[in-house]
Structure 1
């Protein structure tokens, strides 16, 4: 036992009956082909019994790496980004890495540049496109980078991990068309990033060739009250009232539901409302919200796996993860025309 009272690799070697070099190979994940399964198991058991944890700081100095990734997101107040962190941290831990989280102090929107102080302390970066303005210093620093929810880069650019956003919007739009809706209001997030541009473009493309369809788009901030105001504008605008509010996110859909109630409209009898993200909020609303489920933890996990591959010098291809429409009671056929 060391003078600090903490177990050392020598203690683990003694209990397991092996050399310190063998302990380093096993706990460093480099034992396959050099050490038997039985010996590796004995080392891990001894380490667990002693409560031994490798000195990652000393190891980093030897390897010239910090074994730390920086995850840049616009906010942790949004459940989606918290779940991304959970997935990234899980994969990182499996490979002896840590994840430092850098949320924008201002919430949803571009984060300030964190790289002046962090550049020397991290091995690579995983970043949401919604915090892309924080990434201006990466090119000069040569840090490996993986982008999330970002337009796929040309060959040689940063690898991307995306959701099938267009397919998700297509699913919900076709669901609403199948119910018989023809008067649509799109409550669109007023955020200039790839993921929201795709949503707007896909809604317009899906409705363009359908006879009798009317589409009105109202843009607003990613905020309940902003969405409430946008929904009121859509419902009170000139022409026949929309029969459905198709929202870019569940938070916007919550604002849309508030607007409907304020106008004396029932959801879904008088007005259908759909969301996107399938947050916990979707089932907290009454009626429960039709939404598109996004595998956020898988996005984080895939982003971390891609970064690990970059650090290992392995090729990384862009990834697109599937999404799924979850139909609940906030959508129904439109009311009969007066």
Structure 2
């Protein structure tokens, strides 16, 4: 191996120096020197890292290692938006459990309000014990893949091997409950106002809805998670040729409110002419008139279970996958299908 200059000023070499000399990432250095490289890094790469460490006289910083292995008592909760009431409740639940165990929870939302959070982790990893993240922010988590920091995913694909634990909501059952309710009311023409945010949880809702409505007429239109976005998408759908739907199934209460605004503008009565359903049971659901039929999600319990799973992983215990039940709340926005 080529001889390399020591760290500037005779400073103690760091894992970054080892990574530079070996021509690999710091994450790879951590895997190799932590003896967790098998199956992730080739034998040749592992030997290159070990040789670089010997050449530089690198010794792991045990104090920093202890921080990474659970001594800062700090968890990061990554969510797509603080403007969404649901995630505020998730934080409340997680923080309550954390406080009982002497932990703090740092909240990281997306600066843009929806979609993946920007990656804040390069400078934060050493100050964290673990991460809890919504599937809607999954794109921000690449920096943690292959590191020692445990990751608990909320509402995400349970087959994802990159997470130490999964806590999900039974959103598929929620959609089935909505469709059973509307079908029993005689509806056969449906519009699905689907979230435009790419996420496993919305994919599951769409699949469950399509499966439950086989034999019925179903059209899907995507919209940003905003009232304005829902208004525009619903307007396009209602202006399209063909029979108007008698029921609109929305991926979120916010979208449902946008649909209700379009219905009022078009002179459609809810629920006499058009039934509308939401998802989440936000405070918004009872602030509109008629009040919204929706699926209640146990947001605080969701946060609590996520934090409990992280604490179990940090303690070296198994955290089996969990799926929390949801509830249909039938209110005034859904009623019998209008006569043809």
User: Are residues 1:290 and 2:296 paired?
Assistant: no
Q: Residue 123 of structure 2 aligns to a residue in which SS?
A: helix
Aligned match for 1:256, one of 254, 259, 266:
259
Q: Does the aligned pair in 2 maintain the 1:149–1:194 contact within 8 Å?
A: yes
Match of 1:336 in 2: 339
Instruction: Spell out the pairing of 1:157-196 with structure 2 (5 A cutoff).
Output: 157-196=163-202
Q: Cα offset for 1:227?
A: 0.6
4+ aligned runs moved over 4 Å, structure 1: 154-157
Match of 1:12 in 2: none
Aligned match for 1:79, one of 75, 85, 93:
85
Match of 2:107 in 1: 101
Instruction: Report the aligned-residue RMSD.
Output: 1.5
- Post-superposition Cα deviations, 1:309-336, rounded to whole Å, max 9, x if no partner, equal 0000001111000000000000000111
- Post-superposition Cα deviations, 1:76-98, rounded to whole Å, max 9, x if no partner, equal 10000000000000000010101
Q: Residue 137 of structure 1 aligns to a residue in which SS?
A: helix
Q: Paired residues, what number?
A: 274
Instruction: Spell out the pairing of 1:1-338 with structure 2 (5 A cutoff).
Output: 65-153=71-159, 157-208=163-214, 210=215, 213-337=216-340
Q: What is the alpha-carbon distance in structure 2 between the residues aligned to residue 276 and residue 156 of structure 1?
A: 28
Unaligned 5+ segments in structure 1 are 1-59
Q: Does the aligned pair in 1 maintain the 2:76–2:132 contact within 8 Å?
A: yes
Q: TM-score, normalised by structure 1?
A: 0.79
Q: Cα offset for 1:189?
A: 0.6
Change (3 A) 1:294 1:64: closer
- Post-superposition Cα deviations, 1:205-254, rounded to whole Å, max 9, x if no partner, equal 1111x3xx211111111111111111122222111111011111100000
Match of 1:42 in 2: none
Q: Residue 270 of structure 1 aligns to a residue in which SS?
A: coil
Change (3 A) 1:229 1:171: same
- Post-superposition Cα deviations, 1:277-329, rounded to whole Å, max 9, x if no partner, equal 00000000100000000000001000000000000000111100000000000
Q: Does the aligned pair in 2 maintain the 1:187–1:220 contact within 8 Å?
A: yes
Q: What is the alpha-carbon distance in structure 2 between the residues aligned to residue 126 and residue 64 of structure 1?
A: 14
Q: Residue 101 of structure 1 aligns to a residue in which SS?
A: strand
Q: Does the aligned pair in 2 maintain the 1:153–1:159 contact within 8 Å?
A: no
Point out the more displaced range, 199-208 or 290-299: 199-208
Point out the more displaced range, 134-143 or 175-184: 134-143
Q: Cα offset for 1:157?
A: 4.2
Q: Does the aligned pair in 2 maintain the 1:91–1:301 contact within 8 Å?
A: yes
Unaligned 5+ segments in structure 2 are 1-65
Q: Residue 245 of structure 2 aligns to a residue in which SS?
A: coil
Q: Does the aligned pair in 2 maintain the 1:187–1:231 contact within 8 Å?
A: yes
Change (3 A) 1:114 1:299: same
Q: What is the alpha-carbon distance in structure 2 between the residues aligned to residue 103 and residue 312 of structure 1?
A: 27
Change (3 A) 1:64 1:160: closer
Q: What is the alpha-carbon distance in structure 1 between the residues aligned to residue 303 and residue 291 of structure 2?
A: 27
Q: What is the alpha-carbon distance in structure 2 between the residues aligned to residue 310 and residue 155 of structure 1?
A: 15
Q: Residue 181 of structure 2 aligns to a residue in which SS?
A: helix
Q: TM-score, normalised by structure 2?
A: 0.78
